[in-house]
Amino acid sequence: MKQTKVSATEISAQEKLLEAMKSALDEAEGLLKEAAQASGDQATELRAKAVDALRATRETLQDTTLSFAREGKRVAREADEYVHDNPWQAIAAAGVIGLVVGLLISRR
């Protein structure tokens, strides 16, 4: 079975993505504020840039959502394969987890 741990590279990629999203949203917000103060063609141009920045951000979010969904399905598939390949180990692990949770609940 493959390891399903999240690597440092994946965490770094997620952090970079979040920073890029924050930056894009900040840029769009700044453009909209400038457009509110500007008039005429300049305001129209700034609004168009802001709309483009927001559209790009939305597309990035959709791509990221799809990527996370695919990764979640992959992990679930691997877990399912592991349980099918090692049913007694899965039953033992579930029993141990149930025992620990039961002990923790009974102490309260």
| Rounded-to-5 percentages of helix, strand, coil across the chain | 90, 0, 10
Query: What's the pTM value of the predicted model, to 2 decimals?
Result: 0.52
**Could you tell me the pLDDT band of residue 104, with boundaries at 50, 70 and 90?**
very high
pLDDT tens-digit readout, 24-43 = 788 877 877 777 787 788 87
Domain spans, the chain: 8-106
